[in-house]
Structure 1
Amino acid sequence: MTFPLAGKTALVTGVSRRRGIGFAVASRLAELGASVFVQHWRPHDLDQPWGGDDLGAVRGGIRSSLIGEAMLGDAEVDLTDAAAIPGLIDAAAALTGRLDILVCNHAKSGDDGSILDMTAERLDAFWDTNARSTLLLTAEFARRLAPPQSGQRRPGDVIEGAKPYAEPTGRVFWMTSGQGHGAMRGEVAYATSKAALAGITRTVAAELLELGIVLNTVNPGPVNTGYMDPDTADRDTSGIEEWLGSTPFGRVGVPTDPAALIGWLSTAEGAWIVGQVLTSDGGFSL
């Protein structure tokens, strides 16, 4: 077998539960040959109905997917602390001496509400976690691949790169949600933060491409990571079985669905897809 990501190193954020998308993404990249560094912030999960997972088991699960001499590293980092972000990028790069892939999978859930419930503090909390930290992580990742720049750019100025590039110098993945396909009642702050990432994808992708870095944003649609199960749900689950019967495949997504897409986009075969907001939802948005 060939492993298309052999020799590459990936940082995946938001990897603290074996049922989560981050765990599935990290495992998939490992299966493709990459070394993987994961970020987790367990205090967030402990505040949710699904609770925290055993981080040792999380590490063990990813480690079992590693190929050959590939390595695993991890760190507990609060991404709302902007000062902690450069250190996380440094730690991920130090695992093997390089960093090729950044997957910004982390997200704040819970403590949201309707428009009537919005406060400055609630909006800031979701923005800081979901949008601001993603942009800051991307900026730190890109700075390490950028040649020296002549100065601050004005509107319309182009980042100075070293084109042409035979292949991408790096990959970045953002995660959005289904806010563009329909209402997300009671999730105004979450949808706002995710809409910002979808809305800015083309601008940031165009800039990163000057450095050879490919950015795409993935909307995984409804993926059950525990929030739809009656014993760990954060919402009303009555009627969910009837609703599932009306869906195209008779099921919601599972974490390996978006992980498969991100894995493929990380390989040479996915290099020509740039600056897109890709919906991988099994037809839910139809």
Structure 2
Amino acid sequence: MTNSLLNNRGFLYGDALFETVKILDGKILFLEDHYFRLMSSMRILRMEIPMNFTMEFFESEILNEVKKEQLETSARARMTVYRKDGGFYLPDNNAIDYVISVSKIEKPIYEIENTTYEVDIFKDFYVSKQLISTLKSTNKIVQITGSIYAKENALDNCILLNEDKNVVEVLNGNIFMLKDKTLTTPPVSEGCLNGIMRKQIIALAKTIDDLTFTESNISPFDLQKADEIFITNVIKGIQPITKYRKKEFETSLAKSLISKLNVKIRLS
């Protein structure tokens, strides 16, 4: 083990946040949303935000790493922000540092693959119904154990519940349910991630004339009555769920929204 890890608060206590962005043609998609979510999260965790940590700084630091790896055409980048070394549960100070990692994305444009995507509910652990659950912190043990459970049971993903047994999200993104032309997603107050792609899809859904949108509680039983269910995150865009237990689902709204999303990106 390196000495840097021995004292790193992100490693020792999960005292860290991260922001994963998608780069397309040398541009960070949804830059402002990512930056302001990170700033808000840092304030909530009482981290000290340096004066030079502007949106332009955030953008340039990420794009410089992307350029070094020659991945300007299409990449994913993760900035992990952690409180500097010192202290135990109580930190010596609230100053921060950060590290950026970059990797290639094979399919730059958002698209939906016509493949079976099966999910079920993960019941071993629950997401807490509180503000801290909505942040992209490095405390992801529920998602890790849920991912292992999914692999052991030949599932593509798992649905996470909160202590009220309401649907919160999936292992790697937010969840939306379509029933009788009403699109529903759990409110952030249920403990779900305040997702960047969630925000984009909500905005696009509100532009569809014959579609009603609502943020409301969803029960596992509601899912079995749905016409369509899909997952959102900034890397994949939209991933339709095609099977939950014995129920199979349509994918038409997901396909329509992904087309609108790609148009929005091209115009921005």
Higher strand proportion (structure 1 or 2): 2
TM-score bracket for the superposition, by shorter chain length:
under 0.3
Higher RCO (CA < 8 A, seq sep 6+): 1
Higher helix proportion (structure 1 or 2): 1
* Structure-2-length-normalised TM-score: 0.26
* Structure-1-length-normalised TM-score: 0.25
